[in-house]
Amino acid sequence: MESFLSRYKNPLVLLALLLVQVIGLAVQVRRPSPGAGDAPGVRLIQYWALAVVTPPERLAHFMGYETGHLWSSYLDLVGTKRKNRALLTEIDRLRLEQAGLAEQARQVHQLQALLGFQQKYIYKTVAAQVIGASEADQSHLLILNKGSADGLKQDDAVITPDGIVGRLRQVFPHTSLLLEISDETSGAGVLLQGARLQGVLRGNAYGQPEIRDMLPDSRIKPGAVVVTSGGDQIFPQGLPVGTVQQVIPDPGHAPLVNVLIDPAANLDAVEQVLVITDTGNQMPQQEQQDIATSELDQEQQKASDILAERLPSAIDPEAPPEELYTTTVKGFTVTTPLQVLTPPLPAQPDQFTPGATPPASEMTPGALNGPIRQGTENMPPPKPAPQGTTSAGVGAGAGTGTGSAGAKAGSQGAAGKPKTAGTTLKQGSAAHKSNSAAPGGGR
């Protein structure tokens, strides 16, 4: 027996090592309940591993982040004002869009309230940085620098402004493990926005999210928008997920199809995420105030549009706001800048220009207050016809044309005849005379 053990010591130790790990696997796979987390021993090993790996990752991230922050915040400020102006313009545009949708949203909320539907609103989010990634392929896991000490919990939804990223798989005091939607073991309830078809989103072997086992439908087309359905109780309803990239047959479950999704969030380069830590059924106060502000903006916009139609170019968009005024809309106090409307100066002043006309007390009934414009003041004077060389055709044509124009001007300009009109009349008369005096001109 002793010789057996000494002879097969190495394989026996290996077998014991493997046996212990297989038993460990069996214990982990068989969880006490479906929603339960990992066993305490497993969590302890994970905690140790993260305690080993994350300090240098935090240091590397801190150094990289601080360097980038120093550069972007203090040195690379070229174009910041231009960007700021563009962003302010975009905010104004989005406010108007929001106001346009606010009424529809309000109606939907009323209907949902009537139907007893519980809509989830995002109340609170915690921003977190991604400091590390998974140690193996086919494992789409990220390490976040925030944990339960910051209010994070297991199964919290994680998003970016572009779309959903995943959910928290494990939460430790100062670190969390984020399971991306591109992982094969993940899952999210989604909805094809146009077709209103629901499905479950999972990652495939190549790390691309897909909706599996859907019934073939002609409405599932590339480019169709996919949002969260809210059915998984993790992601609030209506968050962007991505767009349909391709529909492929499911080889194992014909005639069902798999729908490949192009994720809205860039899952290959996630740097900063928002963890949704609190949701509720009522619209947040800040959101309500934003909508109220947008509605007020829309009303002002409508008023200014009407003014702009009546007085073209009356509003100077470059004019700085001179004062602020405060009003109350639906219980919310809103403060907006007040723009004083000043008409721009005309390019060519005339009797209609403000200030050009004398006061009514100084005016005499029936008298003219200024020169009457004919509309031909800016026209170049016609060249006089050379004398003695005028042929009948040319002379007749020129004389008739300018003569008629001159006669018309003369008949209109009895009181205040402009100089150019008089010149034209004289030239027309001269040409007429020369035409009649020319030998054979009228024959």
Partner 1 sequence: MALMASTRREVDVPNYPVWLMVLTPFLALVLQSLMTLHFPRFDYVDLPLLVAIYFGITWRNPIGGGIFGAGIGILQDAITQHPLGVFGIGKSIVGYLAASLGIRIDTESFFTRLALLPVFTLLQSVVVWGLERRVIEQPYAWIWWQEGIRAAVNALLGVMLFALFDKARRRD
Interface contacts to partner 1, rule CB under 8 A: 9-10, 13-14, 17-18, 21-22, 24-25, 28-29, 42, 45-46, 48-50, 52-53, 56-57, 60, 130-143, 169, 177, 179, 183-185, 204-206, 268
- Smaller CB distance to partner 1: residue 183 or 295? 183
- Long-range CB pairs of 405-408 (<8 Å, 24+ gap) are none
- Smaller CB distance to partner 1: residue 141 or 398? 141
Minimum Å distance from CB 101 to partner 1? 37
- 201 contacts: CB under 8 Å, gap ≥ 6: 181, 186, 187, 188, 189, 190, 209, 210, 211, 226, 241, 261
- Smaller CB distance to partner 1: residue 182 or 228? 182
- 118 contacts: CB under 8 Å, gap ≥ 6: 281
Q: How far is the CA of 85 from the CAs of 231, 298, 316, 340, 390, in angstroms?
A: 40, 20, 16, 21, 66
Minimum Å distance from CB 210 to partner 1? 12
- Smaller CB distance to partner 1: residue 95 or 140? 140
Minimum Å distance from CB 1 to partner 1? 20
How many CB atoms are closer than 10 A to CB 435? Answer: 22
- Smaller CB distance to partner 1: residue 18 or 94? 18
Q: Which two tokens stand for residue 149?
A: 């000490």
**Pair type for strands 121-133 and 272-280:** antiparallel
**Burial (CB count <10 Å: 0-12, 13-18, 19+), residue 265:** buried
Minimum Å distance from CB 254 to partner 1? 19
Name the 3-class secondary structure at 22: helix
- Smaller CB distance to partner 1: residue 25 or 379? 25
- Smaller CB distance to partner 1: residue 72 or 185? 185
How many CB atoms are closer than 10 A to CB 158? Answer: 29
Give the separation between CA 191 and CA 201, rounded to whole angstroms.
Answer: 9
Minimum Å distance from CB 132 to partner 1? 4
- Report, in angstroms and rounded to the nearest whole number, the Rg of the chain calculated over CA atoms: 40
Minimum Å distance from CB 56 to partner 1? 5
Minimum Å distance from CB 41 to partner 1? 9
- Smaller CB distance to partner 1: residue 185 or 376? 185
Q: Output the CA torsion sign for 415, 418, 421, 425.
A: positive
Minimum Å distance from CB 169 to partner 1? 6
- Smaller CB distance to partner 1: residue 5 or 52? 52
Q: Which two tokens stand for residue 140?
A: 């789409």
268 close to 113: Cβ distance less than 8 angstroms? no
Minimum Å distance from CB 179 to partner 1? 6
Q: Which helix (H) or strand (E) holds 64?
A: helix 40-70
198 close to 215: Cβ distance less than 8 angstroms? no
How many CB atoms are closer than 10 A to CB 150? Answer: 17
- Smaller CB distance to partner 1: residue 45 or 108? 45
- Which 8-state DSSP code applies to residue 158? E
Minimum Å distance from CB 65 to partner 1? 13
Under the phi-then-psi rule, with left for phi > 0, alpha for psi from -120 to 50, and beta for the rest, what region is 440?
Answer: left
**How many residues make up the chain in this entry?**
443
Q: Which two tokens stand for residue 409?
A: 């001007």
